[in-house]
A and B are shown apart, each in its own frame.
Chain A
Amino acid sequence: MAGLESFLSAIGGFVISFAIIDVFWATLLGIVVGMLPGLTATLGVALMTTLTFQMEADRAILILICMYVGAIYGGSRSAILLNIPGTPANAATSLDGYPLARSGQAGRAMAIATTGSFVGGLIGMLALAVVAPALAEFALSFGAFEFFWLAVFGVLIAGQLTALDDPLKGWIAGFLGLFVAMIGQEGIHAVPRFAYGSTDLAGGIGLLPAMVGAFGFAEILTVMRQQSYEVVRGKVGSIWTGIRQAVRYRITAIRSGLIGTFMGLVPGVGEDMGAWASYAAARQTSREKNQFGKGSVEGLMAAETGNNAAVPGALIPVLTLAVPGSAPAAVLLAAMIIHGIRPGPLIMIEFPDFVFSVVAMVFLATCAMFVLGLLLTRPLLLVLRVTRERLMPVIFVLCTVGAFAIASRTFDVWVMLVFGVLGFILRELKYPMAPLILGIVLGDILDKSLRRGLVLTDGDLTPFFTRPISIVLFGSALLFIILSMPGTRRLMARMLGGRRDGDGP
């Protein structure tokens, strides 16, 4: 009841203080950012963090959440109209959205995506309100041992799930991220590591310039490397029939919302896997399996519900464990710290109303996304007419200024450039970016937790493997490694194949 009171009081506060204006412009900007190929939700939230860091905490976080929700939804537009996902989270959307658009039903596809995103956002929001306080209370029992395994587990699972074909590359990306976090003064004895006399390096690698580089500059290079794209022209079709149709698939929407929220909760995995897992589940259970990939309304609904449900899902570990559920959530975590909020197990004690304030922010952003998405279907199409040759230099200027603006340091511009070029090369070599960023965020937790744990036990490693939560986290991490080994995969495939043969008529 106290939670509902805090939620309603936060909504009232935002409405009275005219923050609702911020909600609409930030969500609209998020939709535009998400629509444009080359601009991801992560970049949008990172650039907006540099613009809002002088604002009050509540206002700044509200704008960032609206940008996040808007961008993940906005990516569906380019997925449907260009067959290019606006953000990686919309890759599954293009499978059925683009065939629908090509058959003259773009309006219907966009309405289904909008309704799915709205439902997904609301389901995720409810989960955020229910799970976050409970998880924060549970996390109070976490000590150095548990946080160490949580960091290891986070990097391994993010590496595994963001590089399903080649988990080794996902893990390498995660370990590289952990190493980047080691650069600069360490937190126990203040010894500079890997600084080589540079005061800039001794200060450490900033998360925001690194993310602007890895998700902004690298994306510019990737977009410019590819062939230019063409917008689907012609009939947009009716929007309202799409909404009516979306209601038919309410069970798919609810299931996808729950799957998306869960995938958001898993460290570093986020919206992309939220969409893919929901899509796969919908296909598995559908009576119209053969329609998937050819313009299935159910498939489109599942993908868009799943990715938007993952947004509030990804905020749950941010608030309660200070571990991001996705790359944009990692930026939000950094933004919260900049604004003096300390996410983690103590959040319900130190900032009891903040969690419900975030729930209210997600609710307002989701409603604004629904209204803007339906009302501005046709005007927003104009955004996609901007060519990459005219858009990318403006984005690069924003990346450069954004990296510089946080601390007014030219060094941060260099960090952005290095991470941009490195990110581009790693992408070309099929290394995922999300575990790298998660590694940068978790590096400090892993470093301090291991050393504190060893001091507490005087070098005895036993508690790392015997405390109940540690066993679960360690066991899960080990299981993930074993399951992804080529030998295990072959064995499982053989066993499953054998069973299928046995089941046959």
Chain B
Amino acid sequence: MKASRMDRLDFVSAIVLTAFGIAVLVESLRLPRLDHLNVNPYTVPGIVPGMLGAILTLCGLAMLIRSILRGGWRLDLTADTIGGFVRSASVRRVALVLALTLGYALGLFGWLPFWLATMAFVFAFVVATEAMALGKLPPLPNIAIAAAIAAVTGAGVEFVFERLFYVRLPG
């Protein structure tokens, strides 16, 4: 029987989940029992997280066994399959969006004035994703529209949050 892509993904996620469940269980056991405060032993902080750790471990093991029975352990990791995955258009789009969004939220937001950071991000996002879809730099009218969306978003969001709703934005 040939395993489906989902069976192989389930095999990997089951290993991660089982490891995570064990880690939660161990960490729960290490939580303070507050013996020195003479607290009721049934109220110690680790009871519920410990139970959840055990349940997550069991669920992870159940999924692991299921994926093994379905042949998911044959991961079929060859240079061709990995190369095909990395080169697929959807993966490249997600990678680009991740780079742009994380760059904005972790690199620009809070470090530059809000309006400037937002304008730069929105402009870069629109132009870069349109360029990827077209396979070349977008035509000038599209770039002008991107600049207009960036300007309206940067100024508009700052105005609405800071002036209308009194939320102080960082930067």
Which A positions have Cβ atoms within 8 angstroms of B?
A: 50-51, 54, 168-169, 171-172, 175-176, 178-179, 182, 186, 188-189, 191, 193-194, 217, 220-221, 224-226, 228, 389-390, 392-394, 396-398, 400-401, 404-405, 408, 410, 413-414, 416-417, 421, 424, 428-430, 446-447, 450-451, 454-455, 458-459
Contact = CB atoms under 8 A, between A and B. Distances in A.
Contacts of A228: 133
A220 B9 CA distance: 22
Given A168-B63, A225-B93, A193 B45 contact: yes
A225 B94 contact: yes
Interface in B69-122: 90, 93-94, 97-98, 100-102, 104-106, 109-110, 118, 121-122
B52 to A, nearest CB: 5
B166 A54 contact: yes
A303 to B, nearest CB: 27
A53 to B, nearest CB: 9
Contacts of B62: 168
A228 B89 CA distance: 12
A194 B23 CA distance: 11
Contacts of B168: 408
Nearest to B131: A389
Contacts of A393: 100, 121-122, 125-126, 149, 153
B22 interface: no
A164 B45 CA distance: 34
B78 to A, nearest CB: 21
Interface in B1-22: 6, 9-10, 13, 17
A156 to B, nearest CB: 11
A504 to B, nearest CB: 32
A417 B118 contact: no
Contacts of B41: 459
A397 B90 contact: no
Given A228-B133, A401-B161, A455 B94 contact: no
Contact of A405 (B56, B105, B161): B161
A129 to B, nearest CB: 32
B129 A224 contact: yes
Given A225-B90, A400-B109, A451-B43, A389 B129 contact: yes
Interface of B: 6, 9-10, 13, 17, 24, 27, 31-32, 34, 37, 39-43, 45-49, 52-53, 55-56, 59-60, 62-63, 66, 90, 93-94, 97-98, 100-102, 104-106, 109-110, 118, 121-122, 125-126, 129-130, 133, 145-146, 149, 153, 157, 160-161, 165-170
A497 B46 CA distance: 48
Contacts of A178: 48, 52
Given A430-B6, A451-B47, A396 B101 contact: yes
Contacts of A398: 157
27 contacts: A50-B167, A51-B161, A54-B166, A168-B62, A171-B59, A172-B56, A172-B59, A186-B45, A189-B39, A189-B43, A191-B31, A191-B45, A193-B49, A221-B94, A224-B93, A393-B153, A401-B157, A404-B109, A404-B170, A408-B168, A410-B110, A416-B105, A417-B102, A417-B106, A430-B6, A450-B48, A451-B43
A389 B90 CA distance: 14
Contacts of A176: 56
Nearest to A222: B94
Given A398-B157, A455-B42, 10 more contacts: A51-B165, A188-B43, A193-B31, A220-B97, A392-B97, A393-B121, A408-B167, A417-B106, A450-B48, A458-B42
**Main SS of the interface on chain B?**
helix
Contacts of A226: 90
A175 B97 CA distance: 30
B101 A217 contact: yes
Contacts of B100: 393
